[in-house]
Amino acid sequence: NTPPVAIKLEKNLPVASGVGGGSSDAAAVLRGLAQTWQLDIDSAELARIGLALGADIPMCLAAKPLVARGIGDELSMVPDFSALGLVLVNPGKPVSTADVFRSEEH
């Protein structure tokens, strides 16, 4: 039996920016609930729960540089993150995360 929880979310990423902000919020809530309720759950099980909620939540739970394939559920480590040149651009209009992943496949 788990007690009710009130959650206040401060969002600093633009909504629908295509960078998985909602998924990172969900991952933080999952991790916080597991800690608050003192659940005996390992990271793999938490990732399985996260995947049921959204494809890129397991990546957000890992909280380290990863490459995602498939629907975001096939994760592999980035061996040397410091060597990557990376720029994120906000186009100023809503973009779905799925569309961002699809564009990277081409």
Beta partners for residue 68, in sequence order? 75
Rounded to 5°, the CA angle 41-46-50 comes to: 160
DSSP letter at 8? -
Residue type, 49: I
Task: Show pLDDT as tens, one digit a residue, over the chain (106 residues).
Answer: 788 999 998 888 777 776 778 889 999 999 999 999 999 999 999 999 999 999 889 999 998 888 888 877 789 998 777 766 777 777 788 877 677 667 766 6
